[in-house]
Structures are given as structure tokens and as C-alpha cells.
């Protein structure tokens, strides 16, 4: 499964997504891809069945700015022209996704392969930097968290250890693990205060969908239970403190104390992922519906629809809209899940970019020997 994405030119810009396989970061427009170099992953057979679906239905952003070129005339000394030397610019270790270049398609990606329990770094400009990591507990949801690290949650429904890991993007090594939680983790999000937001079925002894804010010491900051909520995927907190979580075919926006303030039925299960843009617009992926919807900030009504193509061009492998990112130019980078088993690497492409009007402008054909779905 895929989830998460990154993008940049000579500047470094990052965007975090999530889906089957997870795409965590997209970067660059600098040059054509080089031949692939990587370590192969394992594979086996199977059909497209989401192990977490309860029904079997096919069922902040501002544009980054390059330093402007100097428009001053050369300085003349003793009749000789010399170039003006620019002031050195300190390059930060991490530039957040809000600095992303507006017109670049992804060239660097972090992918979480649900079926193989693997985290992968893909650099289309320099594949010699690629790495694979078999994640203890498996890999499901991912997020770029700064300081050249990516957060990955363990697989809900697996055998554990339940919790999350932090992985160094340069080396692909785990640098920190927080595991041993009671109950499975479906989704993770690092908050601005340094705590981590989680959701899972019956997590920490709760009932139904349980949303928990915790810290690296596994201390519970807040815990809210939704006993009637089922077939959800991700949890995402917005800048206003609200959080988005799916309940079957409904995407719900709730206040920090659990009060529902907005809901939309996306017409298919699961309502996979919801985000609120800086404009106040809401964007939701519809899972088996194969669509991404945008909703008006004031009315909450649907205004735009992006339809993903079927994986194989037929209805035998329908589109599945999972994790996505919204670029500063309004385009969507999204993942299209092909199935929960280990031989879907040849099916796809599973990562694509669309305009707000739904026009496909870029896609990436994953490496079948390395990635399942």
C-alpha cells in the first residue's frame, strides 16, 4: 500500500502523503530519471482485497521562493568589470512542505508498502541513494517530521509491536522507536507540540475507534473513544484543532472534544483521508470510490471531483483513492491502491498527479521487483 510524497528543484521541498503503498515525500524537477538501482523485495500472489474493509464492495501551503537572480549591474573597478559576489545563504536541514516548488512533479518519494511491511526511499534523480527498510511491526501510515526524518506507524491488525518509529531519510535506519502500546495503531500524525496523534481499533483499552494524543514516554495526553465508528483509515488534525476521521463512507470533522461539525458521505468505503486547506476548503479521498472531492469552506458543499483511472484500465481492478497531498499550485499527488497482497507491483501506475480539474499530468510506474501495492 502506498502513502506519502516530496518535491523540489535545486531547493528542497517536501510534502507528506499516505496510501497503499505509502508515499511520503516527493522532490525535484531537475533532470530525467537515471536507471534504477536497488535491492529487490520479496513477492507472492493474491487478489485485491483490503484486509481492513468491512464490506467487499469494489466496494498549507504557499509556494517556495528561489533566491532571485541579481539584477544589479557589475561593479567597475579601474576599468575592469567584476561580478558581484552574492551573500551566502544558509541551507536548513529541513524545509517544510509549505516551501514546495509549484511546478515540479515528484522525483523523490518515501513509500510504505503495507503488504511487504517495508519502508522505501525512491530517488528518481539518483537511484544510488535508494534504500529499503523492513519495519518491525510493519508499515502503514507515514509523515515527514523534519530534521531529515520520517515517522512511520506500525500496521493495524498485525502482531505488533504497536507504536511508531522514526527513520533517518539519508540512511534508512531507525533512529527512535516508541512501541509496546496496548492495541493496534491504524494512523499516526506528529503534532506541532511534539506529541503524536494516533487512531486504532480498541486502542489502549478503548472501544471502537480510539483517538489518542501521546508523547514519546507513552503518556496519554488525551483519549477519545467512538464506539460506533468503524472502517476508518487515517486521522489528521487541522490547524484549527479539529480532526478528520472516516466512519464507513462518511468523512467527519470533529472538534478536539469530539463534537461533530461537518460530515460528508463520499459514496464508498472507506472514507480514507480528509484534510483542511489554508483556505478552509476540505479535501477528502473516497477509497473504493476512486475519487477525491473538494468542499467549499463556507457551505461545506462539494465543488470539485478528481476521478482516478482504474488500475489496469478496466473494471477488473478498480481505482482506490487513498492518501494524497495538495501542492501549492492546487494539483493533487495521490496514490492508487492496487491490492493488499504481494504481487501487484506490475499493476499501476500507483502514484499520479492531477490538476484541480482532474487532468492527469504526471504518473510514476513503480518498480515491480521492489514494491507490491
CB environment 184-212: b (16+ within 10 A), e (fewer): bbbbbbbeeeebbbbbbbebbebeebbbb
In percent, the amount of the chain with pLDDT more than 70 equals 70
Query: Is 337 contained in some domain?
Result: yes
The C-alpha angle 127, 129, 132, rounded to 5 degrees, equals: 95
d(CA 277, CA 326): 8
Query: Is 100 contained in some domain?
Result: yes
Average pLDDT over residues 128-132: 94
Query: Is 159 contained in some domain?
Result: yes
pLDDT at 36: 31
Number of domains in the chain: 1
CB distance 308 to 291 below 8 Å: yes
The C-alpha angle 337, 343, 346, rounded to 5 degrees, equals: 70
> Given pLDDT bands bounded at 50, 70 and 90, which one contains residue 283?
very high
> Given pLDDT bands bounded at 50, 70 and 90, which one contains residue 7?
very low
More confident position, 318 or 97: 318
- Summarize pLDDT for 74-86 with one digit per residue, the tens: 333 344 444 444 4
pTM score, whole prediction? 0.72
Query: Is 12 contained in some domain?
Result: no
pLDDT at 59: 39
- Summarize pLDDT for 16-26 with one digit per residue, the tens: 344 333 344 44
d(CA 348, CA 361): 15
Domain ranges, residue 338: 22-52+93-364
pLDDT at 39: 35
Query: Is 79 contained in some domain?
Result: no
pLDDT at 244: 96
Is 88 a residue whose pLDDT tops 60? no
CB distance 250 to 196 below 8 Å: no
More confident position, 28 or 84: 84
SS (H, E, C) the chain: CCCCEECCCCCCCECCCCCCCEECECCCCCCCCCCCCCCCCCCCCCCCCCCCCCCCCCCCCCCCCCCCCCCCCCEEECCEEECCCCCCCCCCCCCCHHHCCCCCCCCEEEEEECCCCEEEEEECCCHHHCEEEECCCCCCCEEEEECCEEEEECCCCCCCCCEEEEEECCCCCEEEEEECCCCCCCEEEECCCCCEEEEEECHHHCCEEEEEEECCCCCEEEEEEECCCCCCCCEEECCCCCEEEEECCEEEEECCCCCEEEEEECCCCCCCEEEECCCCCEEEECECCCEEEEECCCCCCEEEEEECCCCCCCCCCCCCEEEEEECCCCCEEEEECCCCCCCCCCCCCCEEEECCCCCEEEEECCCCCCCCC
Is 128 a residue whose pLDDT tops 80? yes
Identify the weakest region by mean pLDDT among 204-208, 322-326, 333-337: 333-337
Query: Is 97 contained in some domain?
Result: yes
Query: Is 257 contained in some domain?
Result: yes
Which CATH number goes with the domain that contains 270? 2.120.10.30
Query: Is 355 contained in some domain?
Result: yes
CA-closest candidate to residue 188, choices 159, 151, 243, 239:
151
Amino acid at each position: 500500500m502506498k502513502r506519502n510524497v516530496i518535491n523540489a528543484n535545486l531547493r528542497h521541498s517536501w510534502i507528506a502523503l499516505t496510501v497503499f503503498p505509502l508515499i511520503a515525500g516527493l522532490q525535484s524537477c531537475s533532470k530525467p530519471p537515471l536507471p534504477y538501482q536497488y535491492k529487490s523485495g520479496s513477492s507472492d500472489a493474491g487478489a485485491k482485497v483490503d484486509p481492513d474493509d468491512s464490506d467487499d464492495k469494489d466496494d498549507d501551503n504557499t509556494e517556495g521562493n528561489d533566491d532571485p537572480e541579481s539584477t544589479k549591474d557589475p561593479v567597475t573597478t579601474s576599468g575592469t568589470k567584476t561580478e558581484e559576489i552574492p551573500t551566502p545563504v544558509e541551507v536548513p536541514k529541513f524545509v517544510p512542505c509549505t516551501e514546495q516548488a509549484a511546478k515540479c512533479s515528484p522525483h523523490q518519494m518515501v513509500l510504505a508498502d503495507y503488504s511487504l511491511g517495508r519502508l522505501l526511499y525512491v530517488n528518481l534523480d539518483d537511484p544510488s541513494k535508494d534504500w529499503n527498510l523492513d519495519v518491525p511491526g510493519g508499515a502503514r501510515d507515514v509523515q515527514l517530521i523534519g530534521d531529515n526524518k520520517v515517522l512511520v506507524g506500525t500496521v493495524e491488525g498485525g502482531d505488533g509491536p504497536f507504536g511508531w518509529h522514526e527513520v533517518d531519510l539519508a540512511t534508512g535506519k531507525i533512529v527512535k522507536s516508541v512501541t509496546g502500546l496496548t492495541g493496534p495503531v491504524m494512523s499516526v500524525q506528529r503534532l506541532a507540540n511534539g506529541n503524536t496523534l494516533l487512531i486504532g481499533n480498541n486502542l489502549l483499552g478503548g472501544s471502537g475507534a480510539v483517538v489518542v494524543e501521546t508523547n514519546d514516554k507513552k503518556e496519554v495526553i488525551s483519549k477519545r473513544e467512538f464506539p460506533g465508528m468503524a472502517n476508518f483509515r487515517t486521522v489528521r488534525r487541522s490547524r484549527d484543532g479539529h480532526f478528520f476521521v472516516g466512519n464507513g463512507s462518511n468523512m467527519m470533522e470533529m472538534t478536539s472534544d469530539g463534537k461533530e461539525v461537518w460530515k460528508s458521505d463520499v459514496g464508498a468505503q472507506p472514507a480514507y483521508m480528509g484534510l483542511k486547506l489554508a483556505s478552509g476548503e476540505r479535501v477528502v479521498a473516497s477509497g473504493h470510490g476512486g475519487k477525491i472531492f473538494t468542499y467549499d469552506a463556507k457551505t461545506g458543499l462539494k465543488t470539485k471531483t478528481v476521478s482516478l483511472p482504474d488500475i489496469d484500465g478496466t473494471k477488473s481492478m478498480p481505482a482506490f483513492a487513498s492518501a494524497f497531498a495538495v501542492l501549492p499550485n492546487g494539483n493533487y499527488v495521490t496514490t492508487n491502491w492496487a491490492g493488499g497482497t504481494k504481487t501487484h507491483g506490475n499493476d499501476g501506475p500507483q502514484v499520479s498527479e492531477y490538476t484541480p480539474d482532474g487532468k492527469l499530468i504526471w504518473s510514476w510506474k513503480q518498480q515491480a521487483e521492489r514494491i507490491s501495492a
